[in-house]
Amino acid sequence: MAEMERPAAKRRRISSSAADMITQPGTIKINVAGAYIIDHGEEDTSHGSDSNSPTSDPEFEEQSYTQHKRDIRLPNHTALVSHVAADIGGSLAKVVYFSRENGNPESGGRLHFLSFETERIDDCIEYLRLLQSRHKQTNGAKATELSVQATGGGAYKFYDRIRERLGVDVRREDEMECLIGGLDFFITEIPMEVFTYNEADPENAVVYQEARSDIYPYLLVNIGSGVSMIKVSGPSQYKRIGGTSLGGGTLWGLLSLLTGARNFDDMLAMADKGDNGSVDLLVGDIYGEGMGYEKIGLSERTIASSFGKVLKRKREAEKRAEDGSGLSNGDVNRSKFDGGAQEEDGPQASLIGDGRMFKPEDISRSLLYAISNNIGQIAYLQSEKHDLQRIYFGGSFIRGHQQTIHTLSFAIKFWSKGSKQAYFLRHEGYLGAVGAFLKRRPVKWGRQGSVELGET
């Protein structure tokens, strides 16, 4: 979401090397002094990628993964790092690893963030294998010295496969502990990671937060394939207090049936172009054009019923067809998602490809709003029940998507009458992976000793 990016001065690029990240397994202390987020677009790319980076290897010319555009630069961390971390969920497998800058310990290093669709877990394992291979070529160390910190359901489902393919130690970490540990790290150690969003103030819609230590208690709403809501009272003090099965997997599944989109990013892109007003029944449709129910805070664009216009329009189309005023499905031009152009004029204009009456873009926006609004309201109710003022939204469902962030933020503000605040993260999908990464380290590390997970 480019418009949500904090301006930053250009920095000279120092190429990254993944090879130096692997050494003997053991606990490490991450030096986060001076840490900052760096967007790949801020770097001088004239130096090119380091040849030891897996992303520069010909084997990965056809990428099966998504590389997060923001690394976390750790300019003062000079110690060797012995492990990678993977959070393997129902839809995505997220990977976090450390690399040195230009292979030079004195230059510090950075954390990298990648994701694979879980159905392509073999590609994820192959990526880890290539990291292992690059290390061996560079340092002559045994490949078995690499350690994988794994969390999520896939840490159990694919445990044997990872061990057999890589021949390495795989340590399975508790999913909830990793989520909390990762979030605590981001809140307390990484400046400008957390932000709030307010569309009512376009000039200052995004407000980034400095790292802070007074963070408890809070509510974490982690939105992946499903949704978990976790009350966090202190370091390693948490309880899952609720959730919903209607999450990212629901959006992905329904839109794959209703539209021609092939992946989650396509669905979000379609939602950006859509108008949910052609699918949803709005307050203005009930009270009349230009009218809302302002007495109880409902504008004319407020959704009264998600997909509320579908049945009515379907019946109207069926009636027109019976009267002979409509066209059969076979006469309708296909939409661009069905392999053809869409015709705007004539009696068939209300029909989209294959006789559908709604554009895929409008359906995508409507369903995105429906699921996001539902999550936002449940999150508010849980925060009210447990007296929690700060609500952090994480998980790969969000993906820095402005409509999603606005909907969740608006829901919390609306239902709480402004008394509660929704917070978001720039690496929202990597809480579990970062938490797993941090598991291999001493207690009370870093500037503020934010995460007190035990030594493993």
Does the structure show a pLDDT above 50 at 335? no
What is the C-alpha to C-alpha distance for residues 169 and 85, in angstroms, rounded to an integer?
A: 12
What is the C-alpha to C-alpha distance for residues 97 and 99, in angstroms, rounded to an integer?
A: 7
Mean pLDDT of 86-94: 93
Query: Do residues 411 and 238 touch, judged by C-beta distance below 8 A?
Result: no
Between 50-64, 132-146, 306-320, the lowest mean confidence (pLDDT) is in: 50-64
What is the C-alpha to C-alpha distance for residues 315 and 244, in angstroms, rounded to an integer?
A: 32
Query: Do residues 76 and 41 touch, judged by C-beta distance below 8 A?
Result: no
Higher-scoring residue by pLDDT: 20, 196: 196
- The alpha carbon of residue 141 and the mean position of all alpha carbons in its chain are separated, in whole angstroms, by 35
Round the CA-based radius of gyration of the chain to a whole number and report it.
24
Mean pLDDT of 81-90: 89
Model pLDDT, residue 435: 94
Mean pLDDT of 68-82: 88
Model pLDDT, residue 236: 84
Between 111-115, 295-299, 385-389, the lowest mean confidence (pLDDT) is in: 295-299
Mean pLDDT of 211-235: 94
Residues with Cβ < 8 Å from 256, sequence gap 6 or more? 262
Query: Do residues 103 and 17 touch, judged by C-beta distance below 8 A?
Result: yes
Domains and CATH numbers, the chain: 26-39+61-193+430-443 (3.30.420.510), 195-279+358-425 (3.30.420.40)
Model pLDDT, residue 79: 81
Query: Do residues 14 and 102 touch, judged by C-beta distance below 8 A?
Result: yes
Residues with Cβ < 8 Å from 452, sequence gap 6 or more? 235, 236, 443, 444
What is the C-alpha to C-alpha distance for residues 412 and 419, in angstroms, rounded to an integer?
A: 9
Between 140-154, 160-174, 243-257, the lowest mean confidence (pLDDT) is in: 140-154
Between 93-102, 337-346, 406-415, the lowest mean confidence (pLDDT) is in: 337-346
Q: Give the phi and the psi of residue 64 in degrees, each rounded to 5.
A: -105, 10
pLDDT one-digit tens code per residue, 169-205 = 899 999 999 999 999 999 999 999 999 999 888 888 9
pLDDT one-digit tens code per residue, 269-281 = 899 999 999 999 9
Higher-scoring residue by pLDDT: 433, 315: 433
Higher-scoring residue by pLDDT: 284, 197: 197
What is the C-alpha to C-alpha distance for residues 306 and 366, in angstroms, rounded to an integer?
A: 7
Q: b vs e for 433-442, b when ≥16 Cβ sit within 10 Å of the residue's Cβ?
A: bbbbbbbbbe
Q: What does pLDDT average to over the chain?
A: 79
Side-chain-side CA neighbours of 191 within 13 Å: the count stands at: 12
Model pLDDT, residue 319: 79
What is the C-alpha to C-alpha distance for residues 352 and 359, in angstroms, rounded to an integer?
A: 6
Higher-scoring residue by pLDDT: 51, 172: 172
Mean pLDDT of 329-348: 38
